Amino acid sequence: MANVTVIGAQWGDEGKGKVVDWLASRADLVVRFQGGHNAGHTLVVGNQTYKLSLLPSGLVRGKMGIIGNGVVVDPEALLAEIDRVRAQGLTVSPETLRIAENAILILPLHGAIDRAREAARGERKIGTTGRGIGPAYEDKVARRAIRVCDLAEPETLSMKLDELLLHHNTLLAGLGAETFEKQALLDQLLAYAPRILPFAEPVWERLDEARRAGKRILFEGAQAVMLDVDHGTYPFVTSSNTVAANAATGAGFAPSALGFVLGIAKAYCTRVGSGPFPSELHDEIGRRLGERGREFGTVTGRPRRCGWFDAALVRQAVKVGGIQGIVMTKIDILDGLDELKICVGYDINGTRFSHLPAAMQAQAAAKPIYETLPGWSGSTMGARSYAELPAEAIKYVRRIEELIEAPVTLLSTGPEREDTIMMRDPFEG
């Protein structure tokens, strides 16, 4: 049996949580490998709805969850999330959740810097969640970050806070924001220590042992390829690498053993926050997609921008993200539309492009080139096999497969776990 790595193939919010939850029934471990509590997964299980930001989705299935070293962890947000899902009946303990001892911590000053910078950008803001993700990753590469393992060493915490405050308080003062006192932060971190440290370990050892024992590992990405800090619509991106290759770095795992790479894509397209979105719709169809799809950010609650499926963008994500198969979600939201459009390329100042260029002005100028397909009058909601789908819905899926140069291996037809059509089992490789 192969391992499986799940990543987003658009701008996030594609329904990765449901897919990981569905796949986790046959996995032994589920691993988060990047991002922070700016990501959100909504899982609907019977009459319960779980909203997860840091916790791996596999915990809902009773599977071992691992937060890898590539994740930036806000201790307060993590503990609040644990308390919330425990109240819903989930078991979260050191027996079911492990956190990489070398994962980076997000402190309150990171969120303050994040929000102050966004305010200073004015109309040119990036659209961050203001939760300190970017500043925490900055501290990581600047080698001044506080890590989970530091919670066990008060002297190390004190020394690192001196360096952090020298840097961040200077920035906060320059931005006209309130600065932070060392003792208050130190006391806060020491208070977190006894609740966080029981979960900490060198998770790379556990993953290597699991690999040697032939256990099935599911790697769960956050955000999506087009928000990757290298390959996305920079600077309107997240602050980590979201492609499958980063699962190895962000978990401490062998790249050769990441297994089958699944990319998640909606049957249309959405985006939260600022940045280019060539196929965005500002008309009644765009509003209809948003309303029927309940398109609001899991973390922020912000309404998502909606548009037609962008095959050129997903094809790009397939190639740079290492995607071997696509899970198409929310096809039921397209039920009843008279016609559908697929973006197959871009017109940029009179020149046709088959991909979205890296330059900001070129991205902003990109106009979609559409191919039009007929819609369908029947329903796809809750279908469990292709035989239950309207013929035009099947044609729509097949055409997308041709355009993105990758097969649709799973098709999600509703929010429930079992509203899924599987053409190929990703755990079979």
CB 206 within 8 A of CB 98: yes
Those residues whose C-beta lies under 8 Å from the C-beta of residue 396, and which sit 6 or more positions away, are: 267, 331, 334, 340, 373, 376
Cβ proximity of 222 and 39 under 8 Å: yes
* Cβ contact 413:381 at 8 Å: yes
In this structure, are residues 48 and 21 in contact, taking their beta carbons and an 8 Å threshold?
A: no
Nearest to residue 221, comparing CAs of 199, 203, 248, 201?
A: 248
- Residues with a catalytic annotation lie at 13, 41
Distance, CA of 119 to CA of 69 (rounded, Å) = 30
Task: Determine contact, residues 252/99, Cβ cutoff 8 Å.
Answer: no
Separation of alpha carbons 218 and 64, rounded Å: 10
Residues whose CB falls within 8 Å of the CB of residue 209, separated by 6 or more in sequence, listed in order: none
